[in-house]
Copies of this chain bind each other. A is one copy, B any other.
Amino acid sequence: MKQGGGQTVRVTDFGAEPDSRRNATAAVRRALDACRKTERPVLVFPKGRYDFWPEAGFDKVYFESNTTDNNPKRLAVFIEGFAGLTVEGGGSTLVFHDRIQPITVDGSRNVTVRNLSIDWDIPLSAEAVVAAATEDYIDLRIDERQFPHVIEDGRVMFTGEGWRSAWRSAMEFDGKTLQVVPGTGDAGCLGRGWREHRAEIISPGLVRLHRRFERRPAVGNVLVMRHSDRDHAGLFVADSRDVAVENVNLHHAAGLGLLAQFTQNLTVRNFNAVPSPARRVVSGHDDGIQVSNCRGLVLVEGCRFHGLMDDPINVHGTSVRIDKLVAPSRLVCRFMHEQSTGMVWGHSGDRVGFIENDSMRTVGNGVVAAVTAIDRDSFEIHLEQPAPAGIEPGDALENLTWSPDVTIRGNEFASNRARGLLVSTPGRVLIEKNRFESSGSAILIAGDANYWYESGAVRDVVIRQNVFGAVCNSSPYQFGEGVISILPEIPKPDPAFPFHRNIRIEDNDFQPSDYPVLYAKSADGLVFSNNRLTRGRAFEPYHARKATLTFEACRRVRVDGNRVADDVLGRNIVLTGTPASEVVVGPNQNWLR
């Protein structure tokens, strides 16, 4: 039978039994082998539930961005070396067990994964309902089936298939709105020293935490109890080209949701990192989509994100520290973030940018001749030409070739831990028609070569026709300087040489409940035009920054055509290290002077 123009291969013909709860891993492996002998194969999962355990899966070493190195990774559905393959889930749910990477696409092109849900019976984060909160204790109702737990030495220890993991942080979500409770986030919801409690099981599924907590969550609210490392992605796409993910519900993952690395052209449509019907909040484990060192076009459209424990979307490169100049055209470089190492950072012919560490200025370009790994953390790079004069150990290198264009359109960023969308790529970026209900900044444009080493500077960003809801930035998180936060990590910003360029924020609806709407640092060519600002009332203002718009060390800023309601907080524009001559403010916009 043909489907979508290709030859159908059914997993059920290779031993997979829907709804049987038996391990489908080996059957899917055999079906994929059969796909190799087929023209334009369509791997079909007849509708049902399929379960996967690491037994009979693949083990392979992968260095996955922002993921704990627990190699080898354990792979369930492993798509390697395919040229043309459609995985047709047919509305099936793939349920995973233990710690495992559900779907891996490696060294392939023209691969589409569609129409399926990914879930875990026993997720690697837990959720609880607050049953009581008194001066002396808090009672948590924890579903014993989804979140098995024991008490060890007075601490809650979650257990699952092949793992045991101590509770280590908490996020409070409103029981009705299912949004992160304002003012909590990284500030916590149990007060300082909360770990000094003594846990006790009162009755099956009811855990009492004995302590006079500095802060208490509200009865009926949902407490996400984080534990476990992020050690596998949900869908991992590496060294591939023309990969599409469509109509996929990611209800859980053992780390990031969808992670793409060194891949050209990625299309993600109707990918929903949201809780399964069995849960209220917990969905994927950490980020929703992370795109690291890709190129071509990254399109994310019509997706939904809720209940993640980190940013829904993060598009970035990986800059590396120059450790040593062995010769004018030979450098030893080092990966600087412990969860982003071991990758093949560059290929012959790649263009690279040299970044001076203190100012974050790109001081020159180069072309890669060869890259040789030294160990997991460092490699030697040979350049076609000598490195620019003045480059020295401590400066950084950015790969400009692996920098995609990005379109983020029509997505819903509901309430998650941390921010909504992070983007740092020199490619063309279009962010339009999205709805943000993020508890931290809705959009962060960072770029740094000092901490996360997630390069790089942006050069062309349009943010238009989005809605930034009243709950945006309601809790404190790192980088949360405004609803939109442009915040490169620059130790000594130089206004003469801004880091980011050409950012246009136009025709958006902002409903700020607090002061800061836009914070921009070290940007050149920044437009804030034709936006509508009305006062939101989702939370009490708390932010230390009492300015609606802040421009720090910026050049060529234009603010015009905006409609600002009278009760918007601040209605002011604050300049820090930015000459007033660099800021043009249009007439009739109701800004306070």
Contact = CB atoms under 8 A, between A and B. Distances in A.
B20 A143 contact: no
Interface in A358-390: none
Please list the 5 inter-chain residue pairs (A to B) with the smallest Cβ-Cβ separation, ordered nearest first.
Answer: A21-B164, A144-B145, A55-B55, A23-B162, A145-B148
A145 B147 CA distance: 9
A22 interface: yes
A54 interface: yes
12 contacts: A19-B152, A21-B164, A22-B162, A22-B163, A51-B162, A53-B98, A97-B161, A121-B148, A143-B204, A144-B145, A144-B205, A145-B204
Interface string A309-339: 0000000000000000000000000000000
A73 to B, nearest CB: 15
Interface string A144-186: 1100100010000001111110000000000000000000000
Where chain A touches its partner, the secondary structure class is loop
Contacts of A20: 164
Q: How many copies does the complex hold?
A: 2
A62 B536 CA distance: 70
Nearest to A146: B144
Interface in A44-59: 51, 53-55
Nearest to A23: B162
Interface in A11-57: 19-23, 51, 53-55
A149 to B, nearest CB: 9
Nearest to A165: B21
Nearest to A160: B21
Nearest to A204: B143
Contacts of A21: 159-160, 162-164
Contacts of A152: 19
A144 B144 CA distance: 6
Interface in A384-410: none
Contacts of A121: 148
Contact of A161 (B19, B53, B144, B145): B53
